Amino acid sequence: MSLKAVLFDFNGIIIDDESIHAKIMEELLLEENLVLQKGEYEEVCLGRSDRSCLRDLLESRGRFVNNDFLSRLMQKKAQRYLSRIEALEELPIYGGVREFLNRLQELGIKLGIVSGATRQEIELVLNMTQLYEFFPIIIAGDDINSSKPEPEGYLLAVNQMNKEFPDLNLHPSECLGIEDTPVGVTAVKNAGMQVLGVANTYPFHMLHRCCNWVVDYFSDLELDRVISVYSQQDLETTPS
């Protein structure tokens, strides 16, 4: 077995934009005459899709939420996000991301994104930062019915990888998922993948309890050691 694909979360891994999302969620609730409590965004929304986040915030306040209303609210949220991102002089991309992507690409490892964000949001940021070319596979919140910690997005990414690259014969065990939240880490594990935690959102020690590897920065990762672990697992399962 070898490491064939690395699947990235987006918000909190590629771009440091959770404060933007939290502010927009606060505004949307205020327009419904509701108040986002301190710490509630982190508890309810971090690592989860916009649809699940909005639905749970509204239903916890006794609001009946049908799919049409939720879709309109999500579109309003997406448009505000796009306008605020476009207005920034420089996007808050995490340091070391491009260098890490270049290294993975040089090794022939396939790359993808699995996120609860909308495709509009993801593609805008990737285009503005010239990172789009790295990701032939993007699984967005629009593509899935369930939110992390369910593994649907990661399993769909494997299926899409195999369609895009028919000779890859990719299995979940040959993938590394990269996440910054416990919810996301659980989704990766539920998909049968190993996981790298990046301590951008939660502290190192918290992610250390549930991840195969944890780093503060991408530059800290001993990638050769990670690759060797995948290779060693293959040797361990080979009959003598």
Out of 35, 53, 87, a domain closes at: 87
Say whether both 63 and 112 belong to one domain: no
Tell me, what's the pLDDT at 235? 47
Range of the domain at 141: 5-16+92-236
Say whether both 66 and 157 belong to one domain: no
Helix (H, G, I), strand (E, B), or coil: what is residue 209? coil
CATH of the domain at 103: 3.40.50.1000
Say whether both 75 and 178 belong to one domain: no
Tell me, what's the pLDDT at 83? 96
Mean pLDDT across 56-69: 91
Tell me, what's the pLDDT at 6? 98
Give CA–CA dist 49/64, Å, rounded: 19
Radius of gyration of the chain (CA): 18
Out of 87, 102, 123, a domain closes at: 87
The residue among 225, 223, 189 whose CA lies nearest residue 105 is 223
CATH of the domain at 66: 1.10.150
- Domain count of the fold of the chain: 2
What the block records as the tokens of 6 is 């690395």
Helix (H, G, I), strand (E, B), or coil: what is residue 5? strand
pLDDT above 60: residue 236 = no
Mean pLDDT across 51-75: 91
State pTM to two decimals.
Answer: 0.92
The residue among 234, 173, 174, 180 whose CA lies nearest residue 210 is 180
The residue among 45, 2, 52, 51 whose CA lies nearest residue 20 is 45
Say whether both 61 and 144 belong to one domain: no
Out of 63, 87, 111, a domain closes at: 87
Tell me, what's the pLDDT at 240? 36
Say whether both 10 and 31 belong to one domain: no
Stretch among 76-85, 86-95, 192-201, 225-234 having the lowest mean pLDDT: 225-234
Say whether both 53 and 110 belong to one domain: no
Say whether both 38 and 112 belong to one domain: no
Say whether both 107 and 199 belong to one domain: yes
145-154 pLDDT, tens per residue? 889 999 999 9
152-179 pLDDT, tens per residue? 999 999 999 999 999 999 999 999 999 9
Say whether both 223 and 190 belong to one domain: yes
pLDDT above 60: residue 68 = yes
Say whether both 97 and 209 belong to one domain: yes
8-50 pLDDT, tens per residue? 999 999 999 999 999 999 999 999 999 999 999 999 999 888 8
Say whether both 136 and 204 belong to one domain: yes
Q: Distances from the Cα of 83 to the Cαs of 20, 49, 138, 186, in angstroms?
A: 11, 20, 22, 32
